[in-house]
Amino acid sequence: MIPNFNRRQALALGAGAVTVAVLGASSGPALAKNDSDEAIAKFTGGKTPAQGKVKLDLPEIAENGNTVPMTVTVESPMTEQSHVTDVLILASENPRSGVATFHFSPASGIAEANTRIRLAATQDVIAVAKMNDGSFFMARKQVKVTIGGCGG
Amino acid sequence: MISRRELLQVGAATAALAPGGWSRAFAQQRMTQADLLRFEAVGNVTLVHLTDIHAQLMPVLFREPSINLGVGDARGHVPHVTGRDFLDLYKIPAGSAAAYALTSEDFTALARSYGRLGGLDRIATVLKAIRAERGDRTVFLDGGDTWQNSYTSMLTKGQDMVDCMALLKPDAMVGHWEFTLGAERVKAIAEKLGFPFLAQNIRDTEWNEAAFEPMTMLERGGVKIAVIGQAFPYTPIANPRWMMPNWSFGIREEDLQGNVEKARQQGAGLVVLLSHNGFDVDRKLAARVKGIDVILTGHTHDALPDVVRIGRTLLVASGSHGKFVSRLDLDVRGGEVKDFRFKLIPIFSDVIAPDAEMAGKIAAIRAPHEKMLGEAIGRTETLLYRRGNFNGTLDDVICDALLTERDAEIALSPGFRWGNSLLPGQDITREDIYNATALSYPAAYRTTMTGARLKEVLEDVADNLFNPDPYYQQGGDMVRVGGVSFTIDVSQNAGHRISDLKSLRTGKPLDAAKDYVVTGWASVNEGTEGPAIWDVVMRHIEKRRVVAPGEAGRVRVLGT
Please state at what angle helix B279-288 crosses helix B253-265, rounded to 10 degrees.
60
- What value, to the nearest 5°, has the Cα angle with vertex B354 and ends B348 and B360? 140
Could you give phi then psi for residue B487, rounded to 5 degrees?
-110, 140
Confidence class for position A22, pLDDT limits 50, 70, 90: very low
How far CA B44 is from CA of A51, B269, B272, B340, in Å, comes to 47, 12, 15, 10
Evaluate whether B549 touches B385 at the Cβ level (below 8 Å): no
- Which chain B residues touch A22 with a CB distance below 8 Å? 452, 512
Strand partners, B48: B140, B327
Residue ranges of chain B assigned to CATH 3.90.780.10: 372-558
How near does any CA of chain B get to the CA of A136, in Å? 25
Could you give phi then psi for residue B134, rounded to 5 degrees?
-105, -10
Interval B546-560: pLDDT, tens: 999 987 778 999 998
Residue of B52, B179, B237 to mutate, testing the A interface (most A Cβ within 10 Å of its Cβ): B237
Q: Tell me the CATH number for domain B372-558.
A: 3.90.780.10
For chain A, say whether B516 makes contact (Cβ under 8 Å): no
For chain B, say whether A26 makes contact (Cβ under 8 Å): yes
How near does any CA of chain A get to the CA of B21, in Å? 37
Task: Give the span between the Cα atoms of B542 and B539, in whole angstroms.
Answer: 5
Question: Greatest CA separation found in chain A?
Answer: 56
Rounded to two decimals, what is the model's pTM? 0.91
Interval B452-511: pLDDT, tens: 999 999 999 999 999 999 999 987 899 999 999 999 999 999 999 999 999 999 999 999
How far CA B506 is from CA of B341, B473, B502, in Å, comes to 57, 34, 8
Higher-scoring residue by pLDDT: B208, B100: B100
Please state at what angle helix B430-437 crosses helix B533-544, rounded to 10 degrees.
140
Evaluate whether B118 touches B27 at the Cβ level (below 8 Å): no
Strand partners, A124: A142
For chain B, say whether A141 makes contact (Cβ under 8 Å): no
CA B300 from centre of chain: 6
Q: What is the mean pLDDT of residues B187-191?
A: 98
Confidence class for position A34, pLDDT limits 50, 70, 90: confident
Domain boundaries, chain A: 5-143
Could you give phi then psi for residue B131, rounded to 5 degrees?
-65, -35
**Which pLDDT does position B25 carry in this prediction?**
58
Confidence class for position B13, pLDDT limits 50, 70, 90: very low
- The contacts of residue B542 (CB under 8 Å, 6+ apart) are B377, B378
Task: Give the span between the Cα atoms of B203 and B182, in whole angstroms.
Answer: 15
Residue ranges of chain B assigned to CATH 3.60.21.10: 39-61+115-364
CB atoms < 10 A from the CB of B492, how many?
Answer: 18
Interval B309-362: pLDDT, tens: 999 999 999 999 999 999 999 999 999 999 999 999 999 999 999 999 999 999
**Which pLDDT does position A150 carry in this prediction?**
52
Of the candidates B487, B418, B429, the one whose C-alpha atom is nearest the C-alpha of residue B458 is: B487
Of the candidates A41, A35, A131, A53, the one whose C-alpha atom is nearest the C-alpha of residue A86 is: A131
DSSP conformation letters of B157-217: TTHHHHHHHHHH--SEE--SGGGGG-HHHHHHHHHHSSS-B--TT-EETTT--BSS--EEE
Q: What is the mean pLDDT of residues A129-151?
A: 88
ipTM of the complex: 0.85
**Which pLDDT does position A100 carry in this prediction?**
95
**Which pLDDT does position B502 carry in this prediction?**
96
CATH (one of 3.40.50.720, 3.60.21.10, 3.30.479.10, 3.10.129.10) for B39-61+115-364: 3.60.21.10
Evaluate whether B455 touches B512 at the Cβ level (below 8 Å): yes
B523: nearest CB among A2, A62, A146: A2
- Which chain A residues touch B479 with a CB distance below 8 Å? 1, 150
- Which chain B residues touch A64 with a CB distance below 8 Å? 241
Flag whether pLDDT at B20 surpasses 70.
Answer: no
- Is 3.40.47.10 the CATH classification of the domain at A5-143? no
Task: Give the span between the Cα atoms of B170 and B196, in whole angstroms.
Answer: 9
Helix (H) or strand (E) holding B47: strand B45-50
CA B174 from centre of chain: 14
Evaluate whether B199 touches B175 at the Cβ level (below 8 Å): yes
Interval B67-120: pLDDT, tens: 999 999 999 999 999 999 999 999 999 999 999 999 999 999 999 999 999 999
Backbone torsion region of residue B219, taken as left when φ is above 0, otherwise alpha when ψ lies between -120 and 50, otherwise beta: beta
Contact check, Cβ <8 Å, B453/A21 = yes
- The contacts of residue B503 (CB under 8 Å, 6+ apart) are B409, B410, B483, B484, B509, B510, B516
* B334-339 own/partner pairs: CB under 8 Å, 24+ apart: B334/B269, B335/B264, B335/B268, B335/B269, B335/B270, B337/B270, B337/B293, B337/B294, B337/B312, B338/B43, B339/B42, B339/B43
Flag whether pLDDT at B21 surpasses 80.
Answer: no
